Amino acid sequence: MYAKCGDLDKALEVFKSVERRDVFVWSAMIAALAMHGKGRDALDCFSRMLETKVKPNSMTLTNHAGLVDEGRTFLYQMEPVFGVVPGVKHYACMVDILGCSGNLEEAIELIEKMPIAPTASVWGAVLRAFGLHGNVQLAEKACSHMLELEPKTLTARLKLH
């Protein structure tokens, strides 16, 4: 709550005051750090969580702070190392990381190789990334997929802009 309201220091204070940190407490702190652009600190927090023998869950592995190499590593280690099968949120997260960092072709390649069907959230990440980088043709492709999957969501997004 504190992190979402912009007070990362208070969030850290609360985190440090918790005696027994479960996966939810760790995940919240990792997400807070990532949300505030503290990607390296989020990774350090994740490492400390593993050192305390707390096993990450699906939500822990959804957080990112735009760190491309680390994102790739986590995505491909999720199942074999942590026992968490990557879901659509994880793929959307990775597509967002790749797209925003300019790795547009790799983002599309990832979508094409996904073992699950891409949802509107995946295509939304593509739309955002390709919009940022001015690739109108691929942004139109993402838009048409989103329109097909969730027409009401896309229409609402377009009205906001």
CATH code of residue 113: 1.25.40
Domain shared by 159 and 91, yes or no = yes
* Same domain flag for 68 and 103: no
Predicted TM-score (pTM) of this structure = 0.75
What pLDDT, on the 0 to 100 scale, is given for residue 109?
A: 94
pLDDT value of position 78: 92
CA atoms within 13 A on the CB side of 18: 14
What is the pLDDT, as a whole number, of residue 100?
Answer: 84
67-123 per-position pLDDT tens digit: 898 889 989 999 999 999 999 999 999 998 898 888 888 999 999 999 999 988 888
> Which residue, 34, 61, 86, sits at the end of a domain?
86
For the stretch 42-82, pLDDT in tens is 999 999 999 999 999 988 888 666 689 888 998 999 999 99
Residues 78, 138 within the same domain: no
- Note the pLDDT tens digit of each residue in 128-143: 887 777 777 777 777 7
Across 37-43, average pLDDT = 90
Last residue of a domain, one of 86, 118, 136: 86
Helix (H, G, I), strand (E, B) or coil at 18: coil
- Confidence label for 158 from pLDDT (cuts 50, 70 and 90): low
The size of the chain, in residues, is 161
List CB contacts of 51: < 8 A, sequence separation 6 or more. none
User: Domain boundary at 31, 55, 86, which?
Assistant: 86
Q: How far apart are CA 100 and CA 65, in angstroms?
A: 11
> Do 101 and 143 share a domain, yes or no?
yes
Range of the domain at 107: 87-161
Total structural domains in the chain? Answer: 2
- Statement to judge: residues 13 and 81 lie in one domain: yes
Q: Is the pLDDT of residue 154 over 60?
A: no
Shared domain for 114 and 137, answered yes or no, is: yes
Quick one: CA dihedral 45, 91, 8, 56, positive or negative? negative
Mean pLDDT (whole number) for 30-37: 90
Please indicate, yes or no, whether residues 54 and 129 belong to a single structural domain of this protein: no
Q: Residues 96, 129: contact at Cβ < 8 Å?
A: yes
Are 100 and 154 members of one domain?
A: yes
Long-range contacts of 8-11 (CB under 8 A, 24+ apart): 8/32, 8/33, 8/36, 8/38
